[in-house]
């Protein structure tokens, strides 16, 4: 069965119901992680040269998938409330074929798309017939505040919108990344195309792995496990946030995320600072991060960086923030020296 093992589909439908998303078990398409989910939707919609609206910064691996389809990126800058959807093209302008967003605690920005923007995005999608894929691997990792409904849920109240949005998620961040189990909730017509593509790509996701995932979900252990994961990440996030503020003060700007695994920060006072160079120095001191430039199909912000706090301990994160500051000072010194030595 290309679509998935019925037992897992049933469990995923229950999980979705807890997220306020109402899809029948047989409407859920099981994928090899949400990475394949993105690929299936990309291949269902895109021809080489087609445009995809993506957040900027955006999930690196999604950019890679769209790159394989030879896409043209339309970068929608994001802020603390997610992608600034009001900057999407207006009626009469060239439209993308697809829009792709990580709506909750986005990778890398950590931002969550506001309800207001979700509604605006769906109205735009329905009016312009652009398919929107909501990727939500992190939504369950919320440790503060109330969740906004998924696009597919909101779409039921917006005329014509349900045909133009889909939802992808994954067990990678809440059960195990090694399982490689994700899923898609799509409108019927898109579901059928995506299932046919999946059949051609890998016939099905390992039924063995699917049964194991179903067994785990049936056991009810996820419900016990999630509060522990949330509390841990919350503690890590606070430790890192406090340590960064302590080490950098206003030199480093960031929003404390309400969930997820990532903190996105920007050296606001030094716009010419390139975090790729900072990484070289930080690595020597045992600190790594992902330079912000990696998250833009066309690099826009070289003074930003993504810090991950999921696996390091609070003590390590505090030490890391200090060492990052040392590396930062070193980089500034090197830059000043270079400027001094450069001919006028």
Nearest distance in Å: CB 38, a copy of itself? 9
Q: Of 213 and 252, which CB lies nearer to a copy of itself in the complex structure?
A: 213
**SS3 labels along 144-194:** CCCCCCCHHHHHHHCCCCHHHEEEEEECCCCCCHHHCCEEEECCHHHHHHH
Q: Smallest Cα–Cα separation from 50: which of 71, 74, 67?
A: 71
Nearest distance in Å: CB 285, a copy of itself? 26
Strands 253-254 and 262-266, bridge-based pairing: antiparallel
- HSE-CB at 40 with a 13 A cutoff on CA atoms is 36
Q: Which single residue is written with the structure tokens 């003074």?
A: 303
| Contact criterion met (CB below 8 Å) for 237 and 229 | no
Nearest distance in Å: CB 196, a copy of itself? 8
Q: Of 42 and 155, which CB lies nearer to a copy of itself in the complex structure?
A: 42
Q: Of 129 and 202, which CB lies nearer to a copy of itself in the complex structure?
A: 202
Nearest distance in Å: CB 32, a copy of itself? 4
Helix or strand holding residue 342 (H, E): none
Nearest distance in Å: CB 275, a copy of itself? 22
Q: Of 2 and 114, which CB lies nearer to a copy of itself in the complex structure?
A: 2
120, burial (CB in 10 Å: exposed 0-12, middle 13-18, buried 19+): middle
Q: Of 18 and 219, which CB lies nearer to a copy of itself in the complex structure?
A: 219
Q: Of 38 and 154, which CB lies nearer to a copy of itself in the complex structure?
A: 38
DSSP 8-state code for residue 141: G
Nearest distance in Å: CB 142, a copy of itself? 24
Site for a copy of itself, rule CB under 8 A: 32-33, 35-36, 39, 43, 47-48, 61, 64-65, 67-68, 176, 178-180, 196-197, 199-209, 212
């Amino acid at each position: 069965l290309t679509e998935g093992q019925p037992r897992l589909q049933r469990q995923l439908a229950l999980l979705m119901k807890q997220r306020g998303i109402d899809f029948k078990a047989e409407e859920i398409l099981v994928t090899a992680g949400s990475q394949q989910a993105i690929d299936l939707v990309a291949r269902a919609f895109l021809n080489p040269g087609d445009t995809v609206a993506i957040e900027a910064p955006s999930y690196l691996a999604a950019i890679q998938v769209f790159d394989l389809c030879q896409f043209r990126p339309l970068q929608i800058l994001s802020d603390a409330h997610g992608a600034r959807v009001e900057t999407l093209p207006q009626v009469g302008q060239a439209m993308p074929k697809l829009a792709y967003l990580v709506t909750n605690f986005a990778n890398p920005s950590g931002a969550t798309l506001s309800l207001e923007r979700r509604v605006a995005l769906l109205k735009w999608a329905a009016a312009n017939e652009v398919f929107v894929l909501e990727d939500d691997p992190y939504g369950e990792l919320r440790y503060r505040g109330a969740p906004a409904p998924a696009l597919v849920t909101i779409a039921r109240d917006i005329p014509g919108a349900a045909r133009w949005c889909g939802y992808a998620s994954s067990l990678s961040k809440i059960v195990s990344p090694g399982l490689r189990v994700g899923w898609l909730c799509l409108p019927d017509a898109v579901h059928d195309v995506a299932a046919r593509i999946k059949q051609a790509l890998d016939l099905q996701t390992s039924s063995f792995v699917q049964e194991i995932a179903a067994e785990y979900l049936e056991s009810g252990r996820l419900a016990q496990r999630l509060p522990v994961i949330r509390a841990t990440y919350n503690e890590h996030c606070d430790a890192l946030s406090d340590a960064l503020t302590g080490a950098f003060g206003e030199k480093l700007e960031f929003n404390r995320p309400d969930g997820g695994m990532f903190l996105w920060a920007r050296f606001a006072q030094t716009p010419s600072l390139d975090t790729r160079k900072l990484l070289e120095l930080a690595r020597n001191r045992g600190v790594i991060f992902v330079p912000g430039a990696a998250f833009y199909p066309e690099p826009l912000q070289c003074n930003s960086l993504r810090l991950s706090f999921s696996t390091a301990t609070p003590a390590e994160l505090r030490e890391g923030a200090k060492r990052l500051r040392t590396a930062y000072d070193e980089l500034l010194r090197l830059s000043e020296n270079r400027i001094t030595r450069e001919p006028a």
